[in-house]
Amino acid sequence: MMAGVGGGNDFQWCFSQVKGAIDEDVAEADIISTVEFNYSGELLATGDKGGRVVIFQREQESKNRLLSRGEYNVYSTFQSHEPEFDYLKSLEIEEKINKIRWLPQQNAAHFLLSANDKTIKLWKISERDKRAEGYNLKDEDGRLQDQFRITTLRVPVLMPMDLMVEASPRRIFANAHTYHINSISVNSDYETYLSADDLRINLWHLEITDRSFNIVDIKPANMEELTEVITAAECHPHQCNVFVYSSSKGTIRLCDMRAAALCDRHSKFFEEPEDPSSRSFFSEIISSISDVKFSHSGRYMMTRDYLSVKVWDLNMENRPVETYQVHEYLRSKLCSLYENDCIFDKFECCWNGSDSAIMTGSYNNFFRMFDRNTRRDITLEASRENSKPRAILKPRKVCTGGKRKKDEISVDSLDFNKKILHTAWHPKENVIAVAATNNLYIFQDKMN
């Protein structure tokens, strides 16, 4: 498998596809809120603020496709969540899909979990390409026949029909979260999954909807004493007893479910020491971790805070093994970023299939990739200006001061409304999906 990333002469990213409307006026409901490939990479799911899920399927590779890999076409779309109002608590519940997680495929159907702020749903997506015809008791239109008028008996036969993809909600996991769900993660036992909100983490069994186990509870007895919240959580990819959760204070706790029923006491505590003299009003806010992801190998985990991505070795708690600056030039803009709330933007991050590269988003529809081996990094842009089929993406550069070179963009010209919060990397190939507000871009490596 190719090593991935860019910067060198041997590897380049190309435009493949873009989905979504072109118009400038973006409806709030169309804003993409999550992107996720399934385990094989054959399917790509998106969720949006309007509570809708769209699943794309990669077309089969054929001999004709020499210059590019299969394209992703719409496979299924459905309304996952609706807006609700909790009258008892006087709380408006958004239909926005916060997270989608696929289950590993075990039969012909596909299953995924989708979550909004309060409810998680298990959806079954199945294909139907045959239909039974020749019923005895009902005619072709489905109307019931008068049974006394039937004189002969026939066996219905299965006839081919146009492929129909159906999505149906198989389980609804509700009423277990007082606060807003930020993460869901399927366990490697394929039987359980966890869901995390600001203060609690619950463990569910996929078959059981009327109860869940609370495994982490950081709610203080007196809410005035609240100092940190849970920002993300994930199950270990191989060890079904291990999970991690990150906090708004920039720390990560690894917990072992074998140790106790309630994992309030962590097994490992990851925190990078901070230089107290450099502490400012913004320190804690920008240290808040917005995403945590285990590497595929299970040996490392990656965290995203406002300005950087850090790779941690699970065997070393006192500091990350690698730190990558995403957009350090924003450090001198923190005042205005606080005023326009951008400082609270939650960027996600992801690994490539071989864990040799990582990717995360930034502003101005820029996204960044880091090669862990060569230490090269690249900044690319998701833009319709660069959307000719197989067009090679040109690296972008932000000018931080002094003379701006041609093709560079100055920090003050960055569009902070164009944020790339959600990206996904195909589990096996160099194909990436990048959500730019209401558009989904798919890029792939250049094939020679």
- Tell me if 175 contacts other proteins by CB under 8 A: no
- Tell me if 285 contacts other proteins by CB under 8 A: yes
Residues numbered 339-368 forming contacts with other proteins, rule: CB under 8 A: 339
The least distance separating other proteins from the CB of residue 356, rounded to whole angstroms, comes to 30
- Tell me if 32 contacts other proteins by CB under 8 A: yes
Query: In this complex, which beta carbon is closest to other proteins, that of residue 35 or of residue 292?
Result: 35
- Tell me if 90 contacts other proteins by CB under 8 A: yes
Residues numbered 114-153 forming contacts with other proteins, rule: CB under 8 A: 117
- Tell me if 308 contacts other proteins by CB under 8 A: no
Query: In this complex, which beta carbon is closest to other proteins, that of residue 99 or of residue 372?
Result: 99
- Tell me if 227 contacts other proteins by CB under 8 A: yes
Residues in a beta bridge with 14: 392, 444
Residues numbered 40-59 forming contacts with other proteins, rule: CB under 8 A: 46, 48, 50-52, 54
- Tell me if 322 contacts other proteins by CB under 8 A: no
Buried b / exposed e across 60-84, counting CB within 10 Å, b at 16+? eeeeeeeebbbebeebbebebbeee
The least distance separating other proteins from the CB of residue 72, rounded to whole angstroms, comes to 11
Query: In this complex, which beta carbon is closest to other proteins, that of residue 141 or of residue 225?
Result: 225
Interface pick for other proteins out of 2, 7, 170, 180 (rule CB under 8 A): 180
Interface pick for other proteins out of 1, 59, 67, 74 (rule CB under 8 A): 74
- Tell me if 407 contacts other proteins by CB under 8 A: no
Size of the site for other proteins (CB under 8 A): 58
Stretch that binds other proteins, among 88-96, 201-209, 289-297, 378-386 (CB under 8 A): 88-96
The least distance separating other proteins from the CB of residue 37, rounded to whole angstroms, comes to 15
The least distance separating other proteins from the CB of residue 111, rounded to whole angstroms, comes to 20
How far is the C-alpha of 259 from the C-alpha of 153, rounded, in Å?
64
Cα-flanking dihedrals φ and ψ of residue 278, to 5°?
Answer: -95, 5
Interface pick for other proteins out of 170, 268, 299, 331 (rule CB under 8 A): 331
Contact 444, 394 (CB under 8 A): no
Position 283: which residue type? S
The least distance separating other proteins from the CB of residue 118, rounded to whole angstroms, comes to 9
- Tell me if 274 contacts other proteins by CB under 8 A: no
Query: In this complex, which beta carbon is closest to other proteins, that of residue 3 or of residue 31?
Result: 31
Binding site for other proteins (CB under 8 A): 19-21, 29-30, 32, 46, 48, 50-52, 54, 74, 77, 79, 82-83, 85, 87, 89-95, 117, 179-180, 198-199, 223-229, 248-249, 277-278, 280-285, 288, 331-335, 338-339, 438, 440
